[in-house]
Amino acid sequence: MTPTPTTPAPSATEAAPAATPAPDAPAVHTAALALGDDALVLSHRLGEWAGHAPVLEEEVALANIALDLLGQARVLLSLAGDEDELAYLREERSFRNLQLVEQPNGDFAHTIARQLYFSVYQNLMYGQLAATDSPLAPLAAKAVKEVAYHQDHAEQWTLRLGDGTAESHERMQRGVDALWRFTGEMFAPVAGLDLDREALREQWTATVTAVLQKATLTVPEGPQSGAWTAGAGREGLHTESFGRMLAEMQHLHRSHPGASW
Amino acid sequence: MVTKAPQAPTATHTEPVGPSAAMAPTAPAESATAPAPTALEARLHALAGSVPDPELPVLSLAELGVLRSVRVGATGHVDVELTPTYTGCPAIEAMSADIEQVLREDGQDDVTVRTVLSPAWSTDDISAEGRRKLAEFGIAPPRPHAAEGPIPLTLTVRCPHCGSTDTELLSRFSSTACKALRRCVTCREPFDHFKEL
């Protein structure tokens, strides 16, 4: 999503929020924006691991997963509008991503817990979407194959950390517990996404439960959303750290509109 | 643990989707009723297909299976359809530029290279010759998919150096998203494996 001369950025004075679809935009824009923002935001979070991952192989793995997600985000945001304007010139309240994906990386186990919850959701969701006649179906059919590898990566690490040392077990359990309250949002309705949400929830719960149990971890029992979350990320309500993440992500484009290399 | 990859029906979707505005606008993908390629189209297809992959230069785009169609319109406009291996593959832009260049050098002034996603590319689209070249280059080629069912993650991958089937996975993601990093237990050499997709 490098700014290029072919997509001239608006000057600072006309950096209007025009990139956000109008209220009467087709429902498919809403869906593309929600899924595109999920992919974009998680891609950026995973990119933050570059230079910090515990081993070189994981550095490369997380960057590769981030790249897959960025590719998906580009296609999805292009369906909703101009990808660069949407990514770089929207304010926090205009983003429609799940709060789960904007959560800070924490330690490696925390990131893996986030990957497990999200990749299982994304795999099931894209799988359903691919079988519909939605304009998003071709992307879903392609991305579902990529996400299968993300899910496998998250599952293997959950097993290794959960069923590892006392320290890794404790950290993995902490990550799984801390992020549980952000998982309910994945099953909320999204305009333009015609999915069997009950089946999605059932399959997600069954898959995650099986992995956590095999990893000797305890499946969290608390609520899957906080009382204060309201419509949460899909309604543009985000958590505290998201603003700081956006500031970093958008800084270059806002400071140097149209910059390219 | 073997992860089941849902088998997505792709043949019914013809809406091409481009990852960047530069590759729009979109047009209907080739249908079963598309006319047979003309001699010029066949020649340009071969020319575009001979362009080497920017990241795996031992393979041509034709061998990689990413060149979908080359059509020449009544006004001489050349329309090329390219499909990415992975949605986020950064090489796609270099591929587009390289195809455009080779066609321009051939005298085609009006060339559009579009990216299409459907039907999704599969490692099964890599030709037999492409697989042979990958192995020769030191990259274990992808295994063919079973007609139905999961990605065969747990089946053996043969070492491209010594031919041993005793190899182990080091990381699911290697130098590029399309490869996994493995090590041969027999000769101890690490090697890339082109993952099944």
Q: What digits encode the pLDDT tens for the residues A84-96?
A: 999 999 999 999 9
Q: How far apart are CA B43 and CA B36, in angstroms?
A: 13
Instruction: Give the β-pairing of B67-72 and B167-171.
Output: unpaired
On the 0-12 / 13-18 / 19+ scale of CB atoms within 10 A, A261 is exposed
Cα of B52 to nearest chain A Cα, Å: 22
In whole angstroms, how far apart are CA A247 and each of A35, A243, A252, B31?
Answer: 21, 6, 9, 45
Q: How far apart are CA B10 and CA B142, in angstroms?
A: 21
Q: What fold, for A26-229+237-242?
A: Ferritin (1.20.1260)
pLDDT digits (tens, 9 = 90+) for A106-127: 999 999 999 999 999 999 999 9
Predicted confidence at residue A18, as pLDDT, reads 41
pLDDT surpassing 70 at residue B113: yes
Report residue A243 as tokens.
Answer: 């603003």
Instruction: Give the β-pairing of B190-194 and B179-184.
Output: antiparallel
* B160-171 average pLDDT score: 92
Q: How far apart are CA A224 and CA A217, in angstroms?
A: 17
Phi, psi at B180, each rounded to 5°:
-110, 155
Classify A126 as helix, strand or coil: helix
Classify B119 as helix, strand or coil: coil
pLDDT surpassing 70 at residue A11: no
pLDDT surpassing 60 at residue A16: no
Domain ranges of chain A: 26-229+237-242
Predicted confidence at residue A150, as pLDDT, reads 96
**pLDDT band at A3; cut points 50, 70, 90:** very low
Cβ <8 Å between A60 and B119: no
Q: How far apart are CA A122 and CA B158, in angstroms?
A: 32
* Helices A27-47 and A56-80, packing angle to 10 deg: 160
* Mean pLDDT over the full length of chain A: 90
Cα of B15 to nearest chain A Cα, Å: 7
Sign of CA dihedral A165, A50, B94, A119: positive
The answer for B 95-154 residues in CB contact with A (under 8 A) is 117-122, 151, 153
Are the C-beta atoms of residues B63 and B56 closer than 8 Å to each other?
Answer: no
pLDDT surpassing 80 at residue A12: no
Residues of B in contact with A208 (CB under 8 A): none
**B135-153 burial by CB neighbour count: b if 16+ within 10 A, else e?**
beeebbbbbebeeeebbeb
* B172–chain A Cβ distance below 8 A for any pair: yes
Cβ <8 Å between A144 and B3: no
* A143-165 average pLDDT score: 96
Domain ranges of chain B: 36-115, 125-194
* B7–chain A Cβ distance below 8 A for any pair: no
Domain B36-115 in CATH 3.30.300.130: yes
Q: How far apart are CA A235 and CA A98, in angstroms?
A: 9
Task: Find the closest chain B residue to A135 by CA distance.
Answer: B15
**pLDDT band at A20; cut points 50, 70, 90:** low
Are the C-beta atoms of residues B126 and B135 closer than 8 Å to each other?
Answer: no
pLDDT above 90 coverage of chain A, percent: 82
pLDDT digits (tens, 9 = 90+) for B50-92: 999 998 899 999 999 999 999 999 999 999 999 999 998 889 9
* B8–chain A Cβ distance below 8 A for any pair: yes
The ipTM (two decimal places) reads 0.78
Cβ <8 Å between B88 and A70: yes
Cβ <8 Å between B177 and A64: yes
Predicted confidence at residue B121, as pLDDT, reads 95
pLDDT surpassing 90 at residue A163: yes
pLDDT surpassing 50 at residue B10: no
